[in-house]
Structure formats: C-alpha cells, structure tokens
Amino acid sequence: MALMTCVDMGRVRIERHILVIAYRETLEASLGALSLNADLRTLIRGSLDLEGEAAAATRVVRQTEGGVGWISVILLSAKRHRHSPAHDVFGLRKLLNADLLGVKSLGVLVALGDDDPVHLSGMVAELARQMPTFWCKRQAPEACRVSCAFVTQMPLSAPARAEIEALFDSIQVCAALVDTPAQTLDCEEFSGRIREEADALGLTYDEIVGDHLRVGGFGGLYHVGKASCVAPRLLVVHYRAKGAKHRVSLVGKGIVYDTGGLCLKPRDAMSEMKGDMAGAAAVFGALLMAAKLALKVDMDAVFCLAENAIGPSAFRPDDIVTLYSGLNVEINNTDAEGRLVLGDGVAYASRHLEPDVIIDIATLTGAQLICTGKSYAGLLTSDAGLEAALVTAGKAVGEPVFPMLYAPDLLLGEFKSQVADMKNSCKDRMNAQSSCAGHFVEKNLEASFAGTFAHIDIAGPASRDGRGTGFGVGLLSAYLRGLAR
C-alpha cells in the first residue's frame, strides 16, 4: 500500500531516497529546490544527456547522515504531437520501475514548469499506477510512504494538494478492485464496498437485485447475470452538491467476470476477465473524488454489476431479451454482454435521473485496441463540445481519449434482426465494431432525453502487464472538476 502526501517546498523533508521528475529546461530549478551542493549538481548533469530529445534517467548514489541513499532523475521529453497529453506521462511510464519505487520512504520532486494542479496530477497518477496495492504473495511489498513536492512559481493551495492526494488514492482503489479475483469481488462484495463508502460519505443510494431486475424490466442485466450463483444488480449512488449547475450520470460496466457465456471464450482470452468491471471501478473512483473534494456538480453513479457465467440458466444465442428501454434484442453472441447491461444503465439514467450529461465507461470491445491503441481510450459522442471537453480532460491528467467514428446511420444496420428490434452483436466485425457497440448502448437512451451522451471504451488502457491501471478515474474527475468551476 502506498500513501501519498503532498507538501510545500518549504516543508519538504526528503531523508534518503529522492526521485526528481523534470524536463531539461526545469532540471536546474529542481536541483536548486533540493539545495544540492555544486559537486553533486555537476555529477548529476554529467550523467545525463541534456541535449537529447528522448526521455532519459540516471541515478546518483550519495552519502547521507543516515546512511547511503540515492537521487534518481527522470528527464521527460519535451517533444510533442497534437494528440500528446499535457506532459510526458508515457516517458515517465517507460522509465519508472520497481527499483525506483520499491522503498519504504520516497521523496518525489516534480518540476514541470507548470502551475496547473490538474497537469501536475498526471505525474502523480502515473506514480499511483506504478505502485499497485493488491497482492496475494506470501511476502507482499511493504507499505510505502511517498512525499511529493512540486516546483511551481506559486505555492500550491491546500485544495490543490488535496485534489492530487485524492486522485492518487482513488486510482489505487480503482486499480486494486480491477486486480481482485471474482472469487473475492463478486457482485455482492463489489456492491457492499461501494455502499460502505457511500455510507461513510453520507451519500444515498438505490439498489435493484436479482429477480427484482426481471420484474422491473432490466432484461439486459438480469439475463447476463442470472446463471451466476451471485445475483446481478443495478446500484445507483447519488451525490448532490450545494450550488451545482450541472448534473452528470456516470454509468459503469461492472462484469465481475466474463466467461463469454455460452459463446465461451478460449482459454487465453478468458484470462484476466476479472478486470471486465474496470469501467464500474473507474466510476467508483470518480465518485470518491467528487464527494471527498465536495465538487459543485451533481452526480449519479450507476453501477451495472453482473457475472457472465455459464450454467443451466445461462442466456443463449437466439434468446430474445427486452431491455429497460423497451428494445427487444435477439442474442447472437453471449460474449457481447457489456452493451446489454450498459443499455439498461443508460436507459435508467435517462428516464429517471434527469442528467445534463450521460457518460458510460467500459472495457467493451477488444477492437478498441485496434481502433485507438493500448494507451488511448476510444470516445464516441455526437456532441462536439462534450468530445472536446473529454479530450482536453484526458490530455490534462494523462489519461487520453481519442474520438471514434460517430455514424449511426451507417453502423446501426449491423444489428438488423428479422425477429426483434436489434441483434446484440454486429454482423460485420470489420465495420467499425467499437463504434457499433457504442451506438448500441446509445440506442437505449430515452427518446425524451435532451442532454448529451458519450461512450468511453477503455478495453486497452484499463490494464497493463496483467495489472489494473485505474484508468478513467483521472479522466472523469478532471471532466467533473471542469464542470464544477
């Protein structure tokens, strides 16, 4: 477990191990902030390529009063293209490693030549991703305490420091949930953890479970989850802020395990499907951020929780299920289950919660990795303003999204059914299937819904090297903070 404490430069006390994150242009400011002697500065400069463009790193061992410690310097690349995040989080990601971070007490000094706390939080977010908290090894890593100071023109305010600390904690909570096996984190346990936090934060919630989903018309959630020994559920947590001018519904896919159902995944494709609830985990992290920071924006967090299991009661190809929107869907692929549960979630939000904006986030399609890659999430929306806001938020905090094709007139025909309103999987998988999946979800919005909608597919960036990244927490919270201003 890692603990983050943000401190002012005037109060920072770094005892043994120091990690400096800077650009070549800001290196001198960081070394000056540490009050290093001239010989040590010269040694550090001599070990770095100060004329290069690529990200680079070095380590200098030094003698301290308490023993031998070290200073590591990561120089970020200033080279940019138009889709780059605000700062070089990818360079930082490449150079960070367990050797740098695996110590009990680590002082981090961030010098970016930037006073924007949201931009600074991108570096902290990447640190959080590199320090996972879920372990089942007999000898798990010891808890780390990270003190993070920032070289800025003006001292960071207490609220800014609180935002950065909350982001670090929330990303680690999200990533730990993604890493937790379904034998522990089943639907009931996941819901219980969310409700426990909601109670602690004074938030209200509603929950619909099992057969009550069937009776209530939530055919997507009910049929996807009915073969599991733990009932599916729709959990909606309400956060209300005094003076809020906007209301947002965040809808998260929470498939705690995805076998593929009767369209069973092959072995290699089924591994790591405990992480198919990463969208719901990201919504949970954003909810924690909003409540702890008292953001002035109303928010409803909609968690669509189910296990796509196999068994005698599993839903089948050729079944026809009725979603909460009223759409009848012919099942032609039980492994296209995420859009079914999200369809119920966005239908509920648009009918009952009166949001200005609905955003769903999900590990929805493997094709997203082909569409926008492993580091950029896919974004689907008809609203140019919402698209720009989410792209800007992602760049700011180092969780980038990239727009996917928005063309329902061209793509919804992929779901044509002879016997129902739609099929649940597109006919031609070579025809922008990630966009198709987003349009399927969008089709379930209430006809009277007058707000804006966005779909975010995080199948790629939700995990890295078999571990959850907490992706989505920074993106959603940065977007919410923009609305709250």
- Tell me the catalytic residues: 265, 339
Tokens found for residue 31: 């070394």
